[in-house]
Structure 1
Amino acid sequence: MHHRTIPDTSLRLTELGFGASVIGNLYRITSAEEASAAVETAWNAGIRYFDTAPHYGLGLSERRLGTTLRNHPREQYVVSSKVGRLLVPNEQPRGVDTEGFVVRDDLRRQWDFSRDGVLRSIDDTLTRTGLDRLDIVYLHDPDDHWPQAADEAMPTLADLRDQGVIGAIGAGMNQSAMLARFLRETAADVVMLAGRYTLLDQTALDDVLPAAQETGKSVVAVGVFNSGLLSRDRPTEDLKYNYQDSPTDLVTRARTIAEVCEAHGTTLPAAAIAFPLTHPSTVNVTLGMRNPDQVTRNAELHRSTIPEALWDDLRSQGLIRSDAPTGYGDLIPHGTGGPHT
């Protein structure tokens, strides 16, 4: 599997990453055995970048991911986790978590982007995962916490990076405008962009992607299926878009894109994975994967050959923005070894 390098760091990410939110029992229970098998299948498929967070299953995702990764040589993979939500005892448990994860709510999340909160969160993550270090640490959803996140949390992460404790730092969000600020105004190396650079939404071209190019920094793209609408060869009306029911016009648009993909001998989900990687600042696409079958399918989709003519056709029909750089021929090398090695 190809790797891309985060500039000014030694971190090389496989183009496809394993998103561990779902093995934290997102929306439904996943057994420990199935979660471990998913991680092992990802490893066997060549995936070497794994992303998790305390938020995912109130620590369950971190524990499960660490348990399996500890069986592999530490220098061969990259792990990221996040800070901003401390896990603290829940004084009023109701039995089950209320934020989408099917786990007991003996713990609760507490927003904290202070220096002490960041250091405590990283220590707790290392304890849960059993790993000796984190390669990337992101601020997790700091939308309503810019002052503390930018002025306290990010400098704390920068100190740890400069000391060699962690390899790279950044922020992860569902919006792109504030991520552009993190790239331009803070010491961030990389941002995790959720759902804003996809076949249906290219708003990141207005802010975070130009910021990444101007600063020589990087983007990890997640949410590339926009919660499901781009995940099938033939989109159906029951699929979600950005966690909600899909608007009729977007279902129609997705179906049209799917037809163009089919005409070029590929599929909508394969193109959805490939599209963000055509931008010169994108170093990785990370997908949530619950079981071995999902991992195998996504790895096969990533390995699919996407004709460059597809992007030209989509642009000419107004189905993607005309200013979206598409095709590896448009890539501008940056970082050690260039974007595609």
Structure 2
Amino acid sequence: MDEVLFFKPVFKEKIWGGKKLTSFGYDLPAGDIGECWAISGHSHGTTEVENGTFAGQTLASLWQTNQELFGHSKLERFPLLVKILDAEASLSVQVHPDDVYAKEHANDLGKTECWYVIDADPGSYLIFGHHAQTRAEFEKMVAAGDWDNLLNKVPVKKGDFFFVPSGTVHALTKGVMVLETQQSSDTTYRLYDFDRVDQKTGQKRELHLEDSFNVTTIPAKTVQQEPSVLKIGDSVLTTLVSDPISKYFNVYHYDIHGTVQFAKEYPYTLVSVLDGEGTLTVGGQSYSLIKGQHFMLTNEADEWTMTGNLECIASTAH
């Protein structure tokens, strides 16, 4: 049985991307790389298994053919998408739809997401929410380009965490790198793009004002969950967000120093190694862990241990 699946990331060139993802040991393609799709079953970039029986197969295909790995889910597609985003420049100010709107208008899932801040330059901030109280006020401020008064800016530093439900106006800005856990969706509505021109096309990127107006939560709501902490020896396991707040995923931060034993609570667990090195042991098989790896503990794994000095983000589907 294949209890652990390691994945080969897919890289995406972005107008706002850079080269900082090389810090994870990745051999990046040419261009400004903004996104590492680390664990994905989405058709716009599904990741391949690197090891074992299923080497070379995509996560999307395994979801269709080997449901024993996932606990025999009834969902049509793998529900989560894990990314690392490197904002060498600011992303567009954007908003994502919920499931109902996305299905009707984009034949996609909605997009609720969350960010763990891996790194942030001094003075960095996020755009997170807005100050309009009614849709009419929101549309008026957008039309006037009154971004300073409309948009809510939040200072950010390494280790911060933000839950970003659908309907939230948001943007990563210059100098911020995050690990993003989200619904498996690629539907984004741009509200504002700083009037910049794509050097490849010579044109400004498309905005989606009507869709943005339709899906934005007004007034803004910024519901965050108080993290819960479990200490095991010198290790700290933190639950960053879970149901009922998120509705779609549970996300955890592992700060491991020594050995920590885990037992299966959900059919599968996704893990990204953000820093350090160590060993994963499952069913008598050991795997070396280093910064930049992404893997899934399948439904075949009932227990596992992680040993070493490791910083990881883990997630499970609700």
TM-score normalised according to structure 2 size: 0.31
The answer to which structure has the higher strand fraction is 2
TM-score normalised according to structure 1 size: 0.30
The answer to which structure has the higher helix fraction is 1
